[in-house]
Structure 1
Amino acid sequence: MTRIDWDQQLFKKSTRSGGGTDSNCLEIATCAGRVGIRDTKDPVRAVTLDVPAGVWTTFVTAAKSGEFAH
Structure 2
Amino acid sequence: MIEWRKASRSGTSDNTSCVEVANLAGNIGVRDSKDPQGPKLAVTRANWRTLARRIKDGDHDLA
TM-score, L = length of structure 1: 0.71
Cα RMSD between the aligned structures?
1.8
Q: Distance in 2 between matches of 1:19 and 1:10?
A: 21
Identity, % of aligned positions: 32
62, 66, 69: which one aligns with 2:58: 66
Structure (1 or 2) with the greater helix fraction: 1
Mind listing any 5+ residue stretches in structure 1 that lack a counterpart? 1-7
Mind listing any 5+ residue stretches in structure 2 that lack a counterpart? none
TM-score, L = length of structure 2: 0.77
Alignment: residue pair count: 60
Partner residue, 1:33: 26
How far off is 1:68 after superposition?
A: 2.1
